[in-house]
Amino acid sequence: MVDQSKLAQESNRNLRAKDKESEKEKKNPHHVMIFGASSGIALEFARPFADRKARFTLIARDEDKLKDISADLYTRGAKNVAIVCYSLDALEGSYAATKEIIKQTEAPDTVLIAHGILGDNDALMKSPQAMDLLFRVNVLSPIGILMALEEAMGERKRGTIAVISSVAGDRGRASNFAYGSTKSAISEFTSGLRARLLPKGVFVLTVKPGMVATAMTEHLPRSPLMASPKKVSRDIIKAISQKTPVLYTPSFWRLIMFIIRHLPEFIFSRLKF
């Protein structure tokens, strides 16, 4: 026979726990920090957190875009939105800037690192300056940010860091190996950082999107394989909740890249894509 009094006591305990959690969130709302916050994926990622009354620190170069995004998030219920205009294109500068931002806003609960540039492979191979910028923006800057986050979040022993890499980093293709090599470096760095921070209670997610319909790819032909920023952002949020270490988004890219990674070199090197 079911003991109704015990069920009632358990129900009351659950309600009290939820009330305490709700009260804690009101006093200290979830802190979301986004680097490259002016990107389409970043905005779609932020919106569900705004619906849950989170507070934000948004970092990007374009102040006008940041102001527009801030207004959007406030409309959806964001508790507070701090904007920081900064060009994320160097290791030491990004490390120092991130440390200062954390000092001013406190360590975040959830981080998305979403900035990057694509570049044209042929043009990059003819310009040392452009190649240098590609690696500073796509590799050195995220590493500087991650170094600062590792200190702050590792010391606090909780939180999530999601870093956008790319399926292009899984194997170097003739058409975009410069960009792909930067993403390969980030994938490997986040893999090691994930292992380093796991015992400290900090989860690191490596995000590997395929083609996404953003400003970065607007010059490219549209493709049935191209995903929307909203789709990718929802997949990232789901992966965070499920503690998925490496996310291919949309999911069909996992199978595509498995095949591409396992093609013999004498076949792969002759492919024109």
Say what angle helices 40-51 and 229-242 make with each other, to 10 degrees.
Answer: 50
The pLDDT value recorded for residue 28 is: 83
Residue 201 region, left (φ>0) first, then alpha (ψ -120 to 50), else beta? left
Beta bridge mates, 209: 249
What does the block give as tokens for 246? 């490496």
**How many residues would you count in the chain?**
273
Class of domain 29-268: alpha beta
Confidence of residue 213 (pLDDT cuts 50, 70, 90): confident
The pLDDT value recorded for residue 76 is: 97
Q: Where are the domains of the chain?
A: 29-268
The pLDDT value recorded for residue 18 is: 46
Q: What are phi and psi of 35, to 5 degrees?
A: -100, 130
pTM over 0.85: yes
